[in-house]
Chain A
């Protein structure tokens, strides 16, 4: 068990080292000069610099705050819409169609409207995040609830469960696995929407740091921030969602 785990970590380490070496070689001998494609050493320095002056921590904090707020709102509204769509055919045929249609729209398309509605402030970017994940959460909840095996509902009703009790004791636990994977997808959509929003938007988020790096022609900073974004995405997937799924 431990040997197996150790071997796996070792394989990972070797692979990451290998990729880093290729990256370093590519940076040095590739088609772009090193100031456009900095190597691991320069990026590491930028990462350290960003950490020591606190700009990365600030960026992460601001972005995560927006993400959690936006995703939280999405979940609250999305669960309600999903449940209503699952329960009422009328809702499904009307609102459900709208949800499905809007899901095809990249959420960053809402930014122009959001800027006019909310102004150049926090609410606008959070709105974009909400629109990025709300619909996929709603669809996941609807799908999960509608595909609960009939036999569970029949058995539960037969044993006397109805209304809220039925929802709490059967609908919720029976649909939870599908809902969680929907939330996971919604979370990654929210993350993407946020980065797109921050790239075009003021404020000290991670996306802003990316643009700052571009403006200063500091590609090492750009890549360092990209690595931070990847790390956060991985961390949430591995730590938060895998724990919930278990």
Chain B
């Protein structure tokens, strides 16, 4: 059974009197443990697609299945990681990470162990008691990642999680994310507008068209892991998609 399966998924939004076809139709299958990156011009419906898989939104037609079941609502089995983290500023780092565990009613001692282990995994053990506003952007995204991993989701949905970070931090987090995925086997659906980042992280890169977003190209990346953004061969691998992405971005810009 595949981790994610979309069949004929479409999403439209009301825009005054008119309806705007935002997404689809989309057919997509993601295997368990696969790292899939979605690239496309901004406004192409990438985030909409992720919301549909998360269950934060419903498709107008078609169906979204995760682990065989039709998605009807959100679940801690599929966790979103947002661009600005969406951390709770009234909680400290530890409390943020344990949020999902607390809600699920995990006993105190067990929770403590799990959070310690997660914080170690994202290299933030020393910052357990820090407040969100004391952290740098990269640290916030690490906390967001730990918080997302806490309930042991089978699927991580990452919406441009590193887009607001500086280049060095982004590369560092990219490597850490690959390590985490190798350790946990979590399936990841990752949105970015950066083709290089997509090629660096993904087992498969999907290129989306401008609105209404459809998947127009697909590329499997066979390079060994962990990959770095400056790896030789990466550029050559993603080159076939570059012209297509540029065309879609230009088309969206004038539409």
- Please give the residue numbers on chain A whose beta carbons come within 8 Å of chain B beta carbons, in ascending order: 151-152, 154-161, 165, 169-170, 173-174, 176
Contact = CB atoms under 8 A, between A and B. Distances in A.
Contacts of B91: 173
Contacts of B80: 154-155, 158
Contacts of B248: none
B81 to A, nearest CB: 9
B254 interface: no
B100 A159 contact: yes
B70 interface: no
Interface string B83-108: 01010101100000001101110000
Q: Which of B56, B84, B91, B99 has the most CB of A within 10 A?
A: B99
Interface of B: 54, 56, 74-76, 78-80, 82, 84, 86, 88, 90-91, 99-100, 102-104, 147, 151
B103 A159 contact: yes
Contacts of A156: 88, 99, 103
A155 B76 contact: no
Contacts of A165: 103
Nearest to A170: B88
A160 B76 contact: yes
A173 B82 CA distance: 20
Contact of A152 (B75, B76, B86): B86
Given A169-B99, A173-B88, A159 B82 contact: no
A176 B147 CA distance: 23
Contacts, number: 51
Contacts of A157: 56, 74
A174 B104 CA distance: 21
Contacts of A160: 75-76, 100, 103-104, 151
Nearest to A172: B90
B84 A151 contact: yes
Nearest to B54: A158
27 contacts: A151-B82, A151-B84, A152-B86, A154-B56, A154-B82, A155-B80, A155-B88, A156-B88, A156-B103, A157-B56, A157-B74, A158-B56, A158-B79, A159-B76, A159-B100, A159-B103, A159-B147, A159-B151, A160-B75, A160-B103, A160-B151, A169-B102, A169-B103, A173-B88, A173-B90, A174-B90, A176-B90
A152 B88 contact: yes
Nearest to B88: A152
A158 B88 contact: no
Contacts of A154: 56, 80, 82, 86
A158 B100 CA distance: 9
A9 B75 CA distance: 56
A235 to B, nearest CB: 28
Nearest to B90: A173
A174 B86 CA distance: 12
Nearest to A155: B86
Given A155-B86, A158-B56, A160-B151, 4 more contacts: A151-B86, A156-B99, A160-B100, A173-B90
A170 B102 CA distance: 13
Nearest to B147: A159
Contacts of B104: 160
A155 B82 contact: yes
Contacts of B100: 159-160
A139 to B, nearest CB: 23
A169 B56 CA distance: 19
Contacts of B79: 158-159
Contacts of A151: 82, 84, 86
Contacts of B84: 151
A15 to B, nearest CB: 36
A53 B102 CA distance: 58
A212 to B, nearest CB: 48
A168 B81 CA distance: 22
Q: Which of A159, A174, A176 has the most CB of B within 10 A?
A: A159
A170 to B, nearest CB: 7
Nearest to B91: A173
Contacts of A173: 88, 90-91
A89 B74 CA distance: 23
Contacts of A159: 76, 79, 99-100, 103, 147, 151
Given A151-B86, A152-B86, A173-B90, A158 B99 contact: no
